[in-house]
Amino acid sequence: MGALVVWGFLVIGIIAALSRPWLGIVAYYFFVFLQPKWNWHYSIPKDVAFERYIIIAVLVGGVLRCRQLPPLHPWVRIGLLGLMGWMALAFYGTLGARDPRMSNFVFSAMWKIVLVAGFATVGLAEPHRMITLLRMATVASLYSTYRITKDYLDLGFCRYIQDGWGWGTGSNQASMMFTGLAMISLCLTLFEKTMYWRAITFIAFVFQMHAVMLLDSRSCMLGAVAAVGIIVWMAPKTKLNVSVLLAGFLAGLVLAGPSVVEEFASTFKGGEDLDVSAKSRFDLWGYGLRAFQGSPLIGFGPGMIGYQVADLLPQEADARKHFEIRNPHNTPIEVLGDYGIFGFCAMYGFFGSVMLISFQYLRRNMGCPEERVTLLASFSGLLAVSIASVFSSSLMVEAYYTLAGVGAAAINSVWAMKDDQDPEVIEAELVTQEELMEEWQEEPTPVGV
């Protein structure tokens, strides 16, 4: 039955993409976070390319409609050019890579992820489109995290810590994905008008954070704490929101057992109390930085830093037999090693500009309610994943790019409205924190296209 529903969703997604390409982008991310080939692996073949079919439909629909691109914020435009330069550098890196097969595999996955994030930046720059994406991402990940929880309750332990979750996704990457999506769910819970959507997004937040705890990622727990703090600081301080936050806190206490608390507390240990996992990461960071010095400008090519790290490790580590040992487990170092300083600046120029401008707009209370909740979800989610990425690789975590893409779309939307108004009108429209919730409740969410 589930497989039939998934195939039905695919047909709907393709038809929607052909008529309205932005809906195709939403459908693409819905399938990414629903993971149908994993959740229904017993009835859906592994080689069915759901997302590819949808993106082809998006491209065809975009050509048929041929609409003018929306106004882009100058820094977002520069960031998109940077992403294009990063991918060009990555392609060049595959040509002389030490292991062409591995390098081409990494590049083939990366350019598709970056391409769709660029589509989201341009195609979702309207308030109702952003909210639609955030809601559909929440619903899809709600089912995925429900399945993880159900599996845990059936078996009595979480098998995905060692085996990974999703095709080609390790436990750390799955944790980062759910951490970023949990920030979307929490922001929607605090800003939604209807109790129906509040209930769905709050339940999704609980399941997502429970999945992060089950997957046992300390770095994601640390990132989530920082991001939730930002959301609490910036969200409207209404009685209902305070109640929601208290309910979320109590749910966290109930779900977080002694093992989770002990695992999280070990993050702050040092010296002799530092566990083997943390010690090995610190060692790998040092080897990664040393390897980076061998090609500091353009790097060694996609996925190649691990080979350079393995060459520097002591022979007794037997690094060539275990790929995970060779990975530096630090995204900034991985980017430096694979793409050099040029690639590092191009990639983080985009993510950094989205975070910085989102924070500035939030502090000035600019934009309509839908734009503000999107900016807050993007900033807090990117912050959480960025913190987690210091301890593991986030380059293949699609939620990271989703958050950046939809955040950039919100920036473009606010910028387009700001560009059409004079400064006096903009200043008059700035609202206080106490007015934010009232405005969200009074203004209906736009429906349509």
Nearest residue to 193 via CA among 225, 156, 158, 240? 240
**Looking at this protein, which amino acid is placed at residue 19?**
S
Asked if pLDDT for residue 352 goes beyond 50, the answer is: yes
Match 């999280």 to its residue by tokens: 264
- The residue among 438, 45, 384, 67 whose CA lies nearest residue 239 is 438
Confidence (pTM): 0.87
**Residue 1: predicted pLDDT:** 62
Q: Is the pLDDT of residue 271 over 80?
A: no
Task: Pick the more confident residue, 251 or 394.
Answer: 394
Q: Give the residue, 312 or 185, on which the prediction is more confident.
A: 185
Q: What is the pLDDT of residue 22?
A: 95
279, pLDDT greater than 80: no
- Lowest-confidence region among 206-210, 255-259, 297-301, 426-430: 426-430
What is the per-residue pLDDT across 141-179, written as a single tens digit (0 to 9) for each? Answer: 999 999 998 988 888 888 888 777 876 678 889 999 999
For the segment 102-112, what is each residue's pLDDT rounded down to a tens digit?
999 999 999 99
Amino acid 29: pLDDT: 97
Residue 387 has pLDDT above 50, yes or no: yes
Mean per-residue pLDDT for 256-284?
56
Whole-angstrom Cα distance, residue 6 to residue 114?
25
What is the rounded average pLDDT of the residues 276-291? 77
Q: Per-residue pLDDT tens for 290-320?
A: 999 999 999 999 999 988 888 887 765 554 4
Nearest to 211, CA basis, from 148, 142, 139, 136: 148
Q: What is the mean pLDDT of residues 360-388?
A: 95
In this structure, are residues 207 and 146 in contact, taking their beta carbons and an 8 Å threshold? yes
Q: Does the pLDDT value for residue 241 go beyond 90?
A: no
What mean pLDDT do residues 349-359 have?
Answer: 96
Confidence of residue 186 (pLDDT cuts 50, 70, 90): very high
The pLDDT, as a whole number, for residue 268 is: 45
Highest-confidence segment of 194-198, 345-349, 393-397, 437-441: 345-349
Residues 407, 372: contact at Cβ < 8 Å?
no
- Supply the pLDDT for residue 325: 45
What values do phi and psi take at 389, rounded to 5?
Answer: -70, -10
Radius of gyration, CA atoms only, the chain: 22
For residue 77, name the pLDDT band (cuts at 50, 70, 90). Answer: very high
Question: What's the CA gap between 449 and 446, in Å, rounded?
Answer: 9
Per-residue model confidence (pLDDT) at position 425: 44
Banded pLDDT at 71 (limits 50, 70, 90): confident
For residue 261, pLDDT over 60 is answered with: no
User: What per-residue confidence (pLDDT) applies to 404?
Assistant: 97
Percent above pLDDT 90 for the chain? 56
Q: Which residue has the higher pLDDT, 320 or 360?
A: 360
**Cβ–Cβ under 8 Å, residues 421 and 413:** no
Residues 6+ apart with CB under 8 A from 60: 17, 18
The terminus-to-terminus CA distance of the chain in angstroms comes to: 31
Instruction: Answer left, alpha or beta for residue 275, where phi above 0 means left and psi between -120 and 50 means alpha.
Output: beta
pLDDT at residue 278 in the model: 53
**Of 252 and 259, the one with more pLDDT:** 252
User: Rounded to 5 degrees, what are φ and ψ at 58?
Assistant: -65, -45
Pick the closest to residue 182 from 160, 210, 158 (CA basis). 210
pLDDT value of residue 315: 63
Q: What is the pLDDT of residues 401-421, one digit of tens each?
A: 999 999 999 999 999 886 554
Is pLDDT larger for residue 441 or for residue 115? 115
